Amino acid sequence: MVPSDKTGWTKVINARGTFTPLGVSRSPAKVREAVAEALRDYVRIEEMQQAASESLARFSGVEAGHIVHCAAAAVTLTVAACMTKGEPQSVARLPDAHGLPCRVLLPAGHNVNYGHAIEQAIRLAGGKPQLIGAAERCDISDLQSAMLQDDICGLLLVSSRLSRGSLDLAAAVDAARRQDVPVIIDGAAQDMRVRELAQTGADLIILSGQKYLCGPTAGLVVGTTAAMAAVRAQEVGIGRGMKASKEAIAGTLAALEVREELSIIDWRAAQSAKLQRFLQEAATLTAVTACAEPDPTGLPFARAVLEFDPPYDAEKLAEQLQASTPPIYVMTHLIRFNKIALEINALRQDELHSILLRLRVLLADKV
C-alpha cells in the first residue's frame, strides 16, 4: 500500500466506472465546497428538502423529489411507500407487513446485484419479491398475469447495464398503470436519462446522487407529489436509519446546479475525442485490438475495449494492473472474450498515460 498524500489512503486509478468500493465518483469543487459549508452550520432539514424537491422536479420534469441516504435505501423506502401509502400506523409497524399488500413484482432479469441483490432491499421494507419470467425473457403478458394476484403493492423495474433481457420499460409501466399497480424504476446510474425514464409515467424513479451526477452519497427519488409524501412519511419509520444528511442535501443541490450549467453536447464531444485518442494509443500496444463500446443503456458515452491476442490473458492482465502502483482497476465483464473494458470519462490525462505505460510494460514481459 502506497500512501500518496496527507490523507494516507492509497489513490487508485479507477477505470471501472461508478463503482462503490472505489469511491464511486469525483466531485467538482462547487460540490465539495457546498458539503464543507453545510457541515459548519445548523439548518432546517425540512427547508433543504423542500429546495431539493423543487430542484429535482426541474431536473427530471416530474412533480416532486426527495433525498434519502443512497439509491439502495431508496429501493427499500419506495417499496415501503407503496405498501403503506404513508399511513402513519403502517409506517410505524414496518417491516412487519401484516395486513398490508406486500408483493413486489420484479422481472427476473432485473434482479440485479449492485453489492447486494435488489431482492434484499425489497425484503428490508417487509416486501415480498416475486420474480417474473426468465432472466433473459420476461414478456408484458407475464407481468399482466402476475398483476392479477392479490397483495400486489407494486412493480419494480431496473434500468441499468446490469439488468438482462429486453423488456420494454414504457410498455411495462403502461401495463401496470392499466391495472392500477404503482411502478418504481431503479435507474441509479441513469441520471442523464432521467427525463426519458420519467416519460414512461412511472410513479417513482430512483437515482444515485454520487454516480454520474458526482455529488456526495445520496439517493434521489422523483415522482408524483403523493408518492413523494409517502416516501417522506418513512422518515419517522424505517427511513430513520436511511436519512439524508444536511451535507448530502447541500452537495446534491450543488451537483444539480453543475449539471444544469453543463452543455451535454460539448461534454459528449470532449469525451468522444478523449476516448478516440486513448484507443489510438492503445492500438499501438503489442497484441492489442482497441475499439469503443457504446453504453448499453443509452448513456451518452462509450467505453474502451481492449482485446488481447493469445497467449496474452485478459484476466491475468487485469490482476496485474490491479497489483500495480498505483493500482489500476478495469471492467471485467468481457473477460471471457479475452477483453478488458475501461470507463475513462472521469480520468485525467496523466492517469490515462499511466494505464498505457503500465500495459506496455506488462505486454513486453514474456508470457
Q: Which residues bind ligand PLP (CB under 6 A)?
A: 20, 70-72, 112, 114, 158, 160, 162, 186, 188-189, 208, 219
Which of 344-357 are b and which e, b meaning 16 or more Cβ less than 10 Å from the residue's Cβ?
bbbbeeebbebbee
329 has which bridge partners? Answer: 14
CB of 72 to ligand PLP, least distance (A): 3
Residue number with CB closer to ligand PLP (70 or 254): 70
Q: Measuring CA to CA, which residue among 226, 205, 362 is closest to residue 282?
A: 362
CB of 35 to ligand PLP, least distance (A): 16
CB of 158 to ligand PLP, least distance (A): 5
Which DSSP symbol is given to 205? Answer: E
Residue number with CB closer to ligand PLP (76 or 324): 76
| Radius of gyration for the alpha carbons in the chain, expressed in angstroms and rounded | 22
CB of 284 to ligand PLP, least distance (A): 34
CA distance linking residue 360 with residue 365, whole number of Å: 9
Residue number with CB closer to ligand PLP (71 or 341): 71
CA distance linking residue 78 with residue 187, whole number of Å: 13
Residue number with CB closer to ligand PLP (208 or 245): 208
- Kindly report the number of other CB atoms within 10 A of residue 75's CB atom: 30
CB of 213 to ligand PLP, least distance (A): 10
CB of 74 to ligand PLP, least distance (A): 7
Contacts of residue 199, Cβ cutoff 8 Å, sequence gap at least 6:
61, 170
Residue number with CB closer to ligand PLP (20 or 272): 20
Residue number with CB closer to ligand PLP (122 or 258): 122
Instruction: Copy the grid coordinates of residue 291.
Output: 475499439
Q: Measuring CA to CA, which residue among 209, 187, 182 is closest to residue 198?
A: 187
